[in-house]
């Protein structure tokens, strides 16, 4: 039965309308949407008639669905005007209004072929219109060629892109809505579509182009997994520092498991091309949730509070939120690229899965690894308070008359040290610099995540030889370091201005500092960290490194092994290469039983010389403390001498850490002898020798009361004046607490006299001798008794 007979059977009284439609389908610009296409659609409707609610209505819609066809029309415009033509003509020929309305609706469906599941008529018409996709290869190729002819006004490249985009959108959905169409024609249609897409794409770009959306998709999955790990770190962290025993919950394992499961589910949706909403919807959800979470983190970001530091929780949660936004953007981009013609051809499935796994793993590792420096930077910024000054410290002349220059209460006991900028005070959370002349605070540096820095004693403050650089030890609050975060354990500061020169994380112990390097001992390694430049080297020595000094272009260090000797080495500051070594074991009978950190004592550099001097305790004659000196220019021992009184290092409850200090003309040693009776005064040796040859200059014994007999007292409680005298703070028989000067003229108490700034209370009554700390800044002695910081003229 030809088309005219079919129309006459459908609407016998509308033969002129049928002739008009046939004329339309015979227009010269139609190369596919012609009478042959109409015949194939009507034949398919006959095949699927049993699935339609009203087959004749579907046939009427088929006759009109391409009645008006202009290849240059906008998308959906041809279907709309064809529907309007059908509604107008059918109504004129007296067709029932309900049927006319249904015909118009069905025609409009063919614009996108997206009928509802319960739309039987629509399913039949859409399947009939798309029947061409599943026909033989020859017929499909004719159809494709006809479409190209109809769009001859479009250039080859633009047509290929548009055609591939259209075919790709078809391939990502279920093609046939009826059960029979889906069962019998779906596979053939997909093969034809794949073949045409392959023919349209550039031959050279096909293997690579199809992988590009896969790469973006794999990157999105990697960021999702990374976001889940970062979320776990944030949820498992304490809300703030210092951290109590119940403040952390531990890393929640369920977060990375959930993130990995979500990534696996999205992978399945990606390869099920018919369910692309399972990719598009999560992309939108991730973007929206991530943006909301970023806003919440920004709003709830904790403000700096004294004594309460921000932990890693909020930076990690902020990172996880931002990663979620990035994951949503990457998913959307991958989905969009997949629809673009140059990237539409999917690579082999195994290759695609491999690319997803590799890209995902790499991106997850990169995001998590990059997150730690971000968190570290945020913690350092949020928890650091640093002030600087451009005002020079006062340079008023020192009268040395014993009057009280100034006095100020301090919040907690800590080490003090004289510098070119004044008096540096190590507090529990950082460093405060006071002017040595006026006592006014010049600058401060503090960290909210540090609360035990003062416990390091005098070893917590390192001062350079010129007094212009400070290295402050900043242990973590409660000795707890956040996982993966290397917060600074040393801050290197300009003593005059308070400028932060560098911050260094190390598990070792700082030995010396200057404006160029921070020298650190890490077991048997010596590490130089650049301060004003990028210098960094790490040198392994034979034994444990115990002491170090910076002299000119050399790092002079001592490494010692129990019973195996102690070696002084000169290392080049540029690269750490050894220039010379001096084996002290060849000169001394070293102990085979003691910890080297116990029997190798202080190391000091003699100002304006190339000489270092140190201490070492040997087992000779029941135990002897020796002092030695080395020329660092030549790498040779200048002299060695035993210390009078056989003082011992920290070997028992009544022993101590000796202090060795140097001026241009003297090497001064303060150490203790073992107390014979607990609760009785202890004898301290305070002596001076010549740096040139070790010749004794003076030696005095000092009786130290039991209340001052702490192991740190020789290191913390004595200061060296520029003229070579030693000053300390000690109780007097009358119950007062006053400075004591020790030098060539003996041991002389110097009561504190009221100065111009003294209050009505006697100066000596303001001072106690509870764990005193002493230093000298600009020839002015300064003291701390645990509650007050004061300086004398």
Whether 14 and 102 map to the same domain: the answer is yes
State the SS3 of 467-486. CCEEEEECCCHHHCCCCCCC
Whether 261 and 196 map to the same domain: the answer is no
Which region among 1-15, 416-430, 461-475, 587-601 has the lowest average model confidence (pLDDT)?
587-601
Whether 149 and 249 map to the same domain: the answer is no
Provide DSSP, 572-584.
Answer: ETTT--EEEEEEG
Of 151, 177, 200, the one marking the end of a domain is 200
Structure tokens at 560: 């010692």
C-alpha closest to that of 604 among 588, 585, 584, 628: 628
> What pLDDT does residue 758 have?
45
**pLDDT one-digit tens code per residue, 458-500:** 788 999 999 999 999 988 765 566 667 788 889 999 999 999 9
- Residue 529 bridge partners (DSSP): 518, 536
User: How sure is the predictor about 778, in pLDDT bands with cuts at 50, 70 and 90?
Assistant: confident
Of 363, 385, 407, the one marking the end of a domain is 385
Q: Taking the CA of residue 616 as centre, how many other CA atoms within 13 Å lie in the half-sphere pointing to its CB?
A: 31
User: How sure is the predictor about 60, in pLDDT bands with cuts at 50, 70 and 90?
Assistant: very high
Whether 261 and 344 map to the same domain: the answer is yes
The secondary element (H helix, E strand) that includes residue 547 is strand 544-551
Q: Is residue 564 part of a domain?
A: no
Strands 554-561 and 565-572: antiparallel
Q: CB of 684 within 8 A of CB of 728?
A: no
**pLDDT one-digit tens code per residue, 20-46:** 988 999 999 899 899 999 999 999 999
Dihedral, CA atoms, 521, 522, 528, 532, nearest 10 degrees?
Answer: -90
Q: CB of 417 within 8 A of CB of 461?
A: yes
Whether 115 and 216 map to the same domain: the answer is no
**pLDDT one-digit tens code per residue, 164-223:** 777 777 776 788 889 898 899 988 988 888 888 777 765 544 556 678 888 888 999 999
**pLDDT one-digit tens code per residue, 617-648:** 876 666 788 899 999 989 999 999 888 766 66
Q: Is residue 494 part of a domain?
A: no
Dihedral, CA atoms, 661, 662, 667, 671, nearest 10 degrees?
Answer: 0
Provide DSSP, 665-704.
Answer: S-EEEEEEPPPSSTTS-EEEEEEEE-TTT--EEEEEEEEE
- Residue 417 bridge partners (DSSP): 424
DSSP alpha helix (H) spans, 533-651:
596-599
Q: CB of 321 within 8 A of CB of 290?
A: yes
Whether 171 and 242 map to the same domain: the answer is no
Using CA atoms, how far apart are residues 261 and 723, in angstroms rounded to an integer? 74
Whether 217 and 322 map to the same domain: the answer is yes
Q: Is residue 233 part of a domain?
A: yes
Residue whose structure tokens are 């409009």: 108
Of 367, 385, 403, the one marking the end of a domain is 385
Average pLDDT over residues 51-62: 91
pLDDT of 371 over the 70 cut = yes
3-state SS assignment for residue 139: helix
Q: Is residue 101 part of a domain?
A: yes
Whether 168 and 29 map to the same domain: the answer is yes
Whether 97 and 112 map to the same domain: the answer is yes
Q: CB of 148 within 8 A of CB of 84?
A: no
Structure tokens at 65: 């669905």
What's 171's domain CATH number?
1.10.3210
The secondary element (H helix, E strand) that includes residue 557 is strand 554-561
Using CA atoms, how far apart are residues 673 and 645, in angstroms rounded to an integer? 8
**pLDDT one-digit tens code per residue, 418-448:** 999 999 999 888 899 999 888 899 999 988 8
User: How sure is the predictor about 59, in pLDDT bands with cuts at 50, 70 and 90?
Assistant: very high
Q: Is residue 96 part of a domain?
A: yes
Using CA atoms, how far apart are residues 397 and 722, in angstroms rounded to an integer? 14
Residue-range definition of the domain harbouring residue 373: 207-385
Q: CB of 128 within 8 A of CB of 44?
A: yes
Dihedral, CA atoms, 578, 580, 586, 591, nearest 10 degrees?
Answer: -40
**Mean pLDDT of the chain, nearest integer:** 84
C-alpha closest to that of 170 among 110, 117, 112: 112
C-alpha closest to that of 458 among 669, 647, 602, 654: 602
3-state SS assignment for residue 610: coil
3-state SS assignment for residue 371: helix
pLDDT of 538 over the 90 cut = yes
Question: Which residues, including other chains, have CB under 8 Å from residue 134's CB and lie 6 or more apart?
Answer: 175, 176, 184, 185, 186, 188, 189, 192
Whether 122 and 153 map to the same domain: the answer is yes
Q: Is residue 591 part of a domain?
A: no
Q: Is residue 98 part of a domain?
A: yes
Whether 148 and 231 map to the same domain: the answer is no
Using CA atoms, how far apart are residues 120 and 618, in angstroms rounded to an integer? 103
User: How sure is the predictor about 242, in pLDDT bands with cuts at 50, 70 and 90?
Assistant: low
What is the domain count for the chain? 2
C-alpha closest to that of 364 among 481, 491, 259, 280: 259
**pLDDT one-digit tens code per residue, 729-742:** 888 777 777 888 89
Average pLDDT over residues 657-671: 89
Average pLDDT over residues 653-677: 81
- DSSP, res 154: S
Using CA atoms, how far apart are residues 660 and 667, in angstroms rounded to an integer? 7
The CA–CA distances, whole Å, from 721 to 133, 362, 403, 718, 777 equal: 100, 61, 16, 10, 9
Whether 335 and 286 map to the same domain: the answer is yes
- Residue 408 bridge partners (DSSP): 789
pLDDT of 88 over the 70 cut = yes
Q: Is residue 397 part of a domain?
A: no
Q: CB of 147 within 8 A of CB of 32?
A: yes
């Amino acid at each position: 039965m030809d088309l005219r007979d079919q129309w006459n059977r459908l609407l016998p009284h509308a033969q002129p309308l049928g002739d008009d439609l046939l004329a339309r389908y015979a227009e010269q610009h139609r190369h596919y949407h012609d009478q042959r296409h109409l015949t194939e659609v009507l034949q398919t409707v006959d095949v699927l008639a049993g699935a339609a609610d009203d087959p004749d209505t579907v046939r009427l819609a088929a006759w009109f669905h391409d009645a008006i066809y202009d290849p240059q029309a906008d998308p959906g415009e041809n279907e709309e005007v064809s529907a309007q033509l059908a509604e107008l003509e059918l109504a004129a020929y007296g067709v029932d209004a309900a049927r006319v309305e249904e015909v118009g609706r069905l025609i409009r469906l063919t614009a996108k072929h997206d009928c509802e599941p319960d739309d039987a008529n629509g399913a039949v018409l859409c399947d009939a219109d798309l029947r061409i996709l599943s026909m033989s290869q020859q017929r499909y190729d004719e159809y494709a060629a006809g479409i190209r002819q109809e769009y001859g006004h479009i250039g080859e490249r633009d047509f290929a892109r548009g055609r591939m985009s259209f075919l790709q959108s078809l391939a990502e959905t279920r093609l046939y809505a009826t059960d029979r169409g889906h069962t019998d024609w779906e596979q053939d249609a997909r093969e034809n579509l794949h073949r045409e897409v392959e023919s349209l794409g550039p031959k050279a770009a096909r293997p690579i182009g199809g992988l590009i959306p896969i790469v973006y998709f794999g990157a999105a999955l990697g960021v999702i997994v990374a976001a889940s790990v970062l979320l776990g770190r944030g949820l498992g962290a304490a809300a703030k520092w210092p951290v109590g025993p119940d403040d952390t919950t531990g890393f929640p394992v369920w977060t990375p498991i959930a993130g990995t499961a979500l990534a696996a589910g999205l992978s399945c949706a990606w390869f099920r091309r018919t369910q692309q909403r399972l990719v598009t919807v999560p992309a939108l959800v991730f973007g929206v949730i991530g943006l909301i979470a970023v806003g919440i983190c920004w709003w709830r970001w904790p403000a700096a509070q004294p004594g309460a530091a921000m932990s890693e929780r909020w930076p990690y949660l902020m990172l996880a939120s931002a990663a979620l936004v990035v994951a949503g953007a990457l998913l959307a981009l991958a989905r969009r690229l997949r629809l673009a013609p140059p990237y539409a051809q999917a690579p082999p499935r195994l290759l695609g899965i491999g690319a997803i796994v590799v890209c995902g793993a790499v991106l997850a590792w990169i995001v998590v690894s990059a997150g730690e420096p971000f968190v570290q930077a945020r913690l350092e910024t949020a928890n650091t308070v640093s002030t600087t000054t451009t005002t020079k410290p006062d340079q008023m002349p020192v009268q040395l008359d014993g009057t009280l220059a100034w006095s100020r209460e301090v919040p907690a006991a800590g080490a003090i040290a004289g510098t070119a900028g004044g008096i540096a005070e190590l507090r529990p959370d950082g460093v405060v610099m006071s002017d040595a002349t006026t006592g006014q605070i010049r600058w401060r540096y503090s960290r909210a995540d540090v609360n035990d820095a003062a416990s390091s004693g005098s070893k917590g403050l390192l001062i350079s030889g010129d007094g212009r650089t400070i290295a402050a030890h900043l242990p973590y609050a409660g000795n707890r370091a956040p996982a993966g975060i290397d917060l600074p354990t040393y801050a290197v500061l300009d003593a005059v201005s308070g400028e932060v020169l560098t911050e260094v994380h190390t598990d070792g112990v700082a030995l010396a500092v200057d404006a160029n390097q921070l020298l650190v001992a890490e077991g048997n390694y010596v590490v130089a960290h650049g301060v004003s430049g990028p210098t960094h080297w790490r040198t392994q020595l034979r034994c444990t490194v115990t002491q170090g000094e910076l002299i000119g272009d050399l790092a002079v260090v001592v490494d010692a092994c129990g019973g195996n000797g102690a070696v002084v080495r000169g290392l080049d500051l540029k690269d750490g290469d050894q220039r010379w070594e001096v084996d002290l074991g060849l000169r001394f009978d070293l102990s085979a039983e003691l910890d080297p950190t116990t029997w190798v004592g202080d190391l000091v550099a003699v100002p304006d010389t190339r000489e270092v001097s140190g201490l070492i305790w040997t087992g000779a004659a029941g135990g002897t403390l020796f002092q030695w000196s080395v020329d660092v220019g030549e790498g040779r021992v200048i002299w060695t001498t035993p210390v009078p009184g056989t003082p011992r290092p920290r070997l028992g409850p009544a022993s101590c850490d000796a202090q060795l200090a140097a001026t241009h003309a003297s090497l001064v040693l303060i150490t203790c002898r073992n107390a014979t009776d607990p609760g009785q005064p202890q004898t301290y040796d305070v002596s001076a020798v010549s740096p040139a040859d070790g010749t004794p200059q003076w030696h005095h014994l000092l009786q130290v009361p039991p209340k001052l007999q702490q192991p740190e007292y020789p290191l913390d409680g004595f200061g060296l004046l520029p003229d070579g005298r030693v000053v300390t703070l000690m109780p007097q028989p009358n119950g007062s607490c006053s400075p004591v000067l020790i030098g060539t003229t003996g041991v002389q108490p110097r009561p504190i006299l009221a100065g111009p700034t003294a209050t009505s209370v006697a100066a000596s009554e303001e001072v106690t001798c509870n764990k005193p700390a002493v230093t000298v800044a600009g020839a002015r002695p300064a003291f701390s008794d645990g509650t007050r910081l004061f300086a004398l003229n």
